[in-house]
Structure 1
Amino acid sequence: MLRQYELVERVKAYNPEADEALLNRAYVYTVQKHGTQKRASGDPYFSHPVEVAGLMTELELDQDTIITALLHDTVEDTLATVEEVERLFGPDVARLVDGVTKLSKIEAMTESERAAENLRKFLLAMSEDLRVLLVKLADRLHNMRTLHFIKSEDKRRRIARETMEIYAPLAERVGMYEYMREMQLLAFEQLEPEAYATITGRLAQIRSSEGGQVDAIALSIKQALAEAGLKVEVSGREKHPYSIWKKMAERHVSFEQITDIMAFRVIVDSVEECYRTLGVLHQTWQMIPGRFKDYISTPKSNGYRSLHTALIFENSMRMEVQIRTRGMHETNEYGLAAHWSYKQGGVRPDGEVRWLRDLIEIVDASHDAEELLEHTRLAIYQDRIFAFTPKGALHQLPKGATPIDFAYAVHTDLGSMAVGAKINGRHVPLRTPLGNGDVVEIIKSKNSSPQLSWLSFVVTGKARAAIRRAVRAKEREEIAAIGRKLYEEIAGRLPTKVGKKALKEAVQRLGLEDEDDLMVAIGTAKIDDRSVMEALVPGSARTITDPEDWPKQERAISIRGLTPGMGFRLADCCHPVPGDRIVGLRRPGEGVEVHAIDCLKLADGIDADWLDLSWGERSTGAVGQVRCVLYNRPGTLAEMTGIFANARANIVRLEMTGRDSLFGTYEVDIEVTDLAHLTRIVSALRASEAVATADRL
C-alpha cells in the first residue's frame, strides 16, 4: 500500500503545483473515516482507496481526481456525507465522489434490477464528467485484483460476470486497453477456471519450449525495417488468454488450431512511417488477405489509431502486427485518460465520444431493468464495422448491423421515418447486414413509424431502445383513445357537465401525472367507473349508482340535549344541516336557537345560555345556503339549477347579489337531507364549466 508521502510525491512529480496540504488532508480523512474496517483479505479497508488513487497517479490525472479516488467509498461505507466532503474539499470533488458512490444494496430488487439501477446512475454521472468513469474503472480493477480473497464462489462469479459484461467493455470503449485486458483476464479466471488453467498452461509450455522465438521474430522484423532505413521499436508477446479462448469459442476450434497466437507491436516516429513500415512488411512476408485494418484513417469510436495486419512468417507461422506512433500508443493504452491529464484543468477532453451520448439516450428510452441491461450491453460490447452516408460521413456500427441500425445511428428521427434503403446505390431490404465501407442511403417518409418486426433483426442498443419506445407510445395512444371514449360515457352519467378544471383536479386526486395517464388507466381498466366519478365530483358515485338512496325532501329533524317539549329553530345566519356540529343558544322567554359550531355569530359574545346539542338519529331535511359565482354567459344559471334538480335539492330562495361583465354572484337556499348531501351538491357545482366558484355560506 502506498504511504501518504509516497502518494503525494507521485502527484508532485508530474504536477508540481498540486496542493500538498489538500492531498494530505484527503489521505488522513479516508484513513480516519474507514477506521478499523477490514477488507476480505484482512487488510485495512483504507488500503483500497489509497491503491485506487495510486492507479490514478499512473495516469497522471488531476488533483481533484486523485482526491476523489481517496474518498470514493467514504459516503457509502462510512458516516461521511456529500455535504461534508463539499465543505472540506470543494464542490467539484463532492460532485465526483457522489457520482462514483455505488448504490447501496436494495434487498427488494432482483440482481438484474440492482445492476440496472447501478448502471443507470453510473452512466448519468459519467455523462456529466468522465473522470467518474476513470475512477470507477480503477476501483473495479483493484477489486478484481483482490477478488480471490472473497470466500463465496457465487459472489466472486457475480462480480466477475458484471466486470466482464459491463466494466471491461466500458474500459475498451474509452480506449483503456490495459485496464480492459487485466479485467478480462481476472474475470475469465473466475468464470471459466478450467479453460483459464488450460490456456495459461499451454502458453507457459510454448514460452518455455520456443527458446526465445518471440524475441527472434521481433529481431527479424526490426532488421528488415532497418534495412529499409526505418528506426523502430519492436516488442512481441503471446496473445491474451481470454482473447484466445474467445476465438476458440467463436470459431469452434481447438487450441492447436489457433495459428496466430503471437502478436508484435512496431512503434515508429510518424504517421508516414506507419505506412512505409506496412509496405516493407508486406514486401518481406506474405500478408493474410482480409486481416488488414487501417484504424489510422478511420479511428475507432474511442480514438484508437493503429495499422493492423497479419503475416505468414517462416514455417507457416502466423503472426499479428500492429504499427503505430508513440503518441498513438499512449492514447491506445489509456484512451481518454491519456487526454485528461492534470494539464487539462478539468476541461472535458475531445475524446468524449458519441457512443456515450447514445448510452444516455438508451437510459432514457429503456422501459425496465432488463431492457436497460440488454441495450447497454449491445451498445458497448460488440465489434465494429464502418459505413458511410452518401455525403461521406463515417459511422461505426456493430458487426451484423442493418440499414435500420445505421439510420438510428445517424439520428433517431431518421430511423423512425425509414421506409427503405440503398447500399452502394442498390435497393436492399431493411434487414440486409452492412459490410465494411458500405455507402448507405436511407429512404424516409414522414408518415411512417417504427415497426415491431424490426426488433427481429436490429442489433444496436440504440435502435432497439428507440423502436420499443415508439411502439409503446403508439400502443399508449390507441389505449388512450379507447379510454377517452369510456371517459365520455362515464362523465355523461354525472349530475353536471364536467369542465377542464374538474378533470385536472380529478387527475390530481387519483395520483396521476396528466390527463393522458387517466385515459390510459381507464382504457386498461386500472381504474373503475366509480373511482373516476368520485374523483370528478366527490360524493357522486353512491348517489348516481344507487337510485334508491336519492335524497327525499322530508323534514324530520330531532335534536338531542333539549328538554322534552322545548321549542327550537335553526339559525338563519349559518343554516345548520344534519351532520354539522351544533350548539344551542337559550334566552329567557324564547326558544332555543340552533347554530353550527363554527358560526361566525357565536364569536360576537352573545348574551345567552349555551347548550351542548346533537342531531337525533333520524334527522333529515334542512336548508343549506350556497354562494355560486357563475360565468356571465347564456345557460349558466340553467345549468346551476339543473345541478340542484339532479341532486333532488329543492330551491327555497335564489338571489343575485352581484353582477359585472364577466360574472354573476348568486346566493341560494336549498333543502338538503344532511351535510353529505350538501357537500355532494357543492362538489358538483365546482366541477361544472358554468361555475367559477361554489362555497357553502
Structure 2
Amino acid sequence: MEGVNKDYLSNSKNEYTIDALIQKILDGEKQYDLSKIVSAYELADKYHSGQKRESGEPYITHPLAVAYILLELGMDTDTICAALLHDVVEDTSCTLENLQKQFGTDVAMLVNGVTKLKKVEIFTKDEQKAENIRKILLAMSEDIRVIIIKLADRLHNMRTLNFCREEKRRIIAHETMNIYAPIAHRLGIRSIKDELEDLSFHYLDPYAYEEIDKQMNLRKEGRDQLVEDIKERIRERLSQDFDPVPQIEGRVKSNYGIYKKVYRDGKEIDQIYDRYAVRIIVNTVTECYNVLGIIHDMFKPIPNRFKDYISTPKPNMYQSLHTTVIGRQGIPFEVQIRTWEMHRTAEYGIAAHWKYKEGVRSSSKDDNRLAWIRQIIESQQESNDVEEIVRAIKNDLAPEDVFAFTPKGDMITLPVGSTVIDFAYAIHTQVGHRMCGAKADKKMVSYDYQIKTGEIIEILTTNVEGHGPSRSWLNICKTNEAKSKIRSWFKKERREENIFEGKNALEREFRRNMIKVPEDELEDFLKLDMRRHNCETLDDFFAAIGYGGVQLSKVMQRLKSEYHKKYGEKITADITEDIKPQRSKNSSGVIVDGIDDCVIKFAQCCNPLPGDEIVGFITRGHGISIHKCDCVNYQTQKDKADTAQRWVPVKWAATEDNKGYFKTTLDIIAVDRIGLLADVSSALAMINIYIHESTSRELKNGNAILTVTLSVAGMEQLNSVIAKIKKIKNVISVERSGK
C-alpha cells in the first residue's frame, strides 16, 4: 500500500489535513465526488471542534487519517465520507438522520455499522467487546466496506497507541492481534494485516520485538545486498526469454513473521527459509509456470517447499506460486511468482474490488470471499454467550489453514487442527449428524484425527433411525460451525435428555463446590444466569447446560460468590454436619480401608470397572493402584513375601455421587468384511459411547480382530455395550481385553 508510514513506531504523530487529502485525490487517476468529501469533512470538523486526542492533537486528525488510509486502498466516495464521519454519531450530538439527509443512505449505513455499541446490557467488559464485534460482523454481511473502514480506524489508533497508558495499550494490542489482524488476513489486505501484527507485537512483547529488530539490523547491509544480487541475476536470466522483463521485487519477512517462527517454532533466524523473498510479476498464468521452471533451473529447489496457490487459492483468494531455493552463498530464499491481477488481490485483497473494478458492485468471487462472515454469524445463532464470538473469530479466522478434499474432488478449507468431525459438518449439516466413521486417504481414522493438507477425507454415514452426534464431539471438534450444529441438534432432538444431563451436571458442580440451595429457592438463585441465557424456566436452563449452550465453568465462579453472599452464615454449619468419621473416599469412587487422603490410580493391566471385584496395591510414591481380583498380576504376586503386605482391601463407593467414566478395552472377533468397523463405530455412537482408540488386523483363519478402547460408567453400561456389539452382523465374540 503506497504511502503507509513505515516508521510508525518512531513517528506516530503524523500531519493529516484536508488539503493533503484533496491533493492525493487530484493526483490519482480515480474519479471522486470531491464536493461531497469536502462537505463530510466540514461537518466532521464542526462537530469535533474542541475535541482532542490523547496525543493532544485536534480530534479531526483521526478521521482524516482514516480517510487517507482508505484513499490509498482506492475505496469509493461514500467510504471516504463515512471515514470522515465515523465518530460523529458516537462522540457528538450529530444524528444518523442528519447524515442520511445530507449524504444519503449508504453513508449513514456505513457510519452506523462502524459506530461502537453504546447502550448494551453488559456483564463484563469482555462481553461488551464481543457484542461490538458481533455488530461489526452483522454489518459486514450487509456491506463489506464497514469492516474496511473499521480496519483503517484500528490501524491509525495502533499507530498512535504510544500515547495511551500501558494497560490500555496491551488490551488494545491483544484485541488487534486476535480479532482485527485475522480479519484483515481473510480479506486479503496484506499491508494492513502485516502492520497491525507488527504494531501489536511491539506492544505485547517489546523485548522480543527489539531483539529481532536488532538481529535483523545487524544483517541489514548484507541482507539488502543479497536481495539485490538475487534480483539482478534473475533479471539477467529472464531477459533472454521475456521482453520486457517481468517486474522483480524483493522483500524481507516482517518482525512478527520472524517472531512466530523463532519463538513459536523454536528456530534460529538463520533457519527461517523465507525471511528473504523475491517476487516476480508476469502477465499470464502460463508465464508463471514458465518462470517457475527457469528459477528451478537457476537455483537448487529445497524439497517439500513448493506451494501452488494458483491451482489451490487460499480462502482469501490469494494466488501465487511459492518455491524455496538455495542461492550461490548457500542461503535459502523464497521466490513468489504471480500475475498482475493476482498481485493486486494479494496487496489489496477485497479492496481491489473498488480500486481496479469501478462500477462493479459484487461478483461470485467476492461472494465466496465473504462466505466465512455468514458462517460465523449463522454459527452464533444457537449461542447466547456473546463471548463465544471471540472464540469463533480466534479459531475460524486463524491465518493458518489446511486444505483437504472429498472423494469427488471438492476442496474443503478448515483451520489448522480441525478434525474429521469439522470436515463432515463443513460438507453439510446432515453429513455431520449421520457420520459414523471416517477415512483419510482410504485408511480408517478416529473421530479426533486432525486433517492434513492434501488428504482425501471420506465421511462414512448411516441411515439408522435416530442416529446423531455424540456429546463428546463438542470436546473434539475445533470449528465453531461444527460445535454450533452439534449443540443445535441436541437442543432440538434431545430436550428431555438435555434436561436430565444438565440437571445432573449442575448438581455435581454444586456438590463439588459445597453449594446447597433449597429446591424451592433454586430458580431465584439462578435467575440472573437464566435471564442472561434467555431461559424462561429451570428446565430451559438445565437443557441449555445439557446441550452446551451454557458452560458451567463460566458461571460457577459467580454462583459461588452469590452463594457465599446469600447463604454464608449457613455454610459452616452445613459443612460440619456433613463431616463424618468414615473411611477415606476418593473422587475416583473407591473406598480404601484405614488410609486417609490417598491417591488412587487404576491399573492398565486389567482396567477395573465399577462392579468388578477389586483389590488395592500400595505403590512406592504413586498412591494405590486398583486391580481386578482376577488380574494375572494380583494372582501371581499376592502370596509373595515381599509384596503380600502391600495388598489392601478396597471397594467401590456405594453412592450415586460417582458419575465418572472409566477406560476399558474390548477385543471384538468377527468375520472380516467391508464396513465392519463403520458398523461398530455407528453402534457405539448411537448409545453415546466415546471411542479413544481403535485398531484392527486380519487373523490367519480369515476372521478379523478389532481392539477398541472406550469410556464407560461401569460394569452395567459395559455389559449393555457388549450386548449391543454382539448384535452386529458377523460378530463372533466380544471380550474385555487383558491389556
Q: Which residue of 1 aligns with 2:169?
A: 156
Q: Which residue of 1 aligns with 2:435?
A: 418
Maintained 8 Å contact 2:185/2:399? no
Alignment map for 1:181-330 (pairs within 5 Å): 181-210=194-223, 212-229=225-242, 231-330=245-344
- The residue identity in structure 2 corresponding to 1:241 is N
Q: Is the counterpart of residue 144 in structure 1 residue 163 in structure 2? A: no
Q: 2:55 is matched with which residue: 37, 41, 45?
A: 41
Give the match's secondary structure for 2:456: strand
- Structure 1 residues 63 and 342: CA distance shift in structure 2, 3 A: farther
Q: What do residues 271-306 of structure 1 show as CA deviations (whole Å, max 9, x unaligned)? A: 111101111111221111111110101111111000
Maintained 8 Å contact 1:124/1:360? yes
Relative to structure 2, which stretch is displaced further, 33-42 or 415-424?
A: 415-424
Structure 2 alignment gaps of length 5 or more: 1-14, 503-529, 546-739
Relative to structure 2, which stretch is displaced further, 177-186 or 308-317?
A: 308-317
Distance 1:522 1:76 in 2: 36
Q: Which residue of 2 aligns with 1:169?
A: 182
Alignment map for 1:338-357 (pairs within 5 Å): 338-341=352-355, 344-345=358-359, 347-349=361-363, 350-352=365-367, 353=369, 354-357=371-374
Alignment map for 1:232-631 (pairs within 5 Å): 232-341=246-355, 344-345=358-359, 347-349=361-363, 350-352=365-367, 353=369, 354-446=371-463, 447-473=466-492, 476-478=495-497, 518=537, 520=539
Q: Which residue of 2 aligns with 1:77?
A: 91
Maintained 8 Å contact 2:474/2:483? yes
Query: How many angstroms does 1:309 deviate by?
Result: 0.8
Give the match's secondary structure for 1:236: strand
Relative to structure 2, which stretch is displaced further, 128-137 or 220-229?
A: 220-229
Q: 1:60 is matched with which residue: 50, 53, 74?
A: 74
Query: How many angstroms does 1:444 deviate by?
Result: 2.2
Maintained 8 Å contact 1:39/1:45? yes
Distance 2:189 2:452 in 1: 27
Distance 2:428 2:539 in 1: 29
Maintained 8 Å contact 1:63/1:342? no
Give the match's secondary structure for 1:40: coil
- Structure 1 residues 99 and 523: CA distance shift in structure 2, 3 A: closer
Give the match's secondary structure for 1:237: strand
Identity between Structure 1 and Structure 2 (%):
42
- Structure 1 residues 138 and 409: CA distance shift in structure 2, 3 A: same
Larger radius of gyration: 1
Distance 2:86 2:360 in 1: 18
Query: How many angstroms does 1:229 deviate by?
Result: 4.2
Query: How many angstroms does 1:319 deviate by?
Result: 0.7
Query: How many angstroms does 1:26 deviate by?
Result: 0.4
Q: Which residue of 2 aligns with 1:22?
A: 36
Give the match's secondary structure for 1:80: coil
- Structure 1 residues 31 and 346: CA distance shift in structure 2, 3 A: farther
Query: How many angstroms does 1:115 deviate by?
Result: 1.9
> What is the CA RMSD across the aligned residues, in angstroms?
2.9
Distance 1:28 1:42 in 2: 21
Distance 2:392 2:92 in 1: 34
Q: Which residue of 1 aligns with 2:7?
A: none
Maintained 8 Å contact 1:203/1:238? no
Query: How many angstroms does 1:256 deviate by?
Result: 4.4
Distance 1:384 1:44 in 2: 43
- The residue identity in structure 1 corresponding to 2:217 is A
Distance 1:384 1:523 in 2: 36
Q: What do residues 582-612 of structure 1 show as CA deviations (whole Å, max 9, x unaligned)? A: xxxxxxxxxxxxxxxxxxxxxxxxxxxxxxx
Maintained 8 Å contact 2:498/2:544? no
Maintained 8 Å contact 1:266/1:324? yes
Q: Is the counterpart of residue 131 in structure 1 residue 145 in structure 2? A: yes
Distance 1:212 1:518 in 2: 71
Give the match's secondary structure for 1:351: helix
Give the match's secondary structure for 1:42: coil
Query: How many angstroms does 1:330 deviate by?
Result: 0.9
**TM-score in terms of structure 2 length:** 0.63
- The residue identity in structure 2 corresponding to 1:168 is A
Distance 1:86 1:320 in 2: 50
Query: How many angstroms does 1:403 deviate by?
Result: 1.7
- The residue identity in structure 1 corresponding to 2:476 is F
- The residue identity in structure 1 corresponding to 2:202 is E
Maintained 8 Å contact 2:274/2:333? yes
**TM-score in terms of structure 1 length:** 0.67
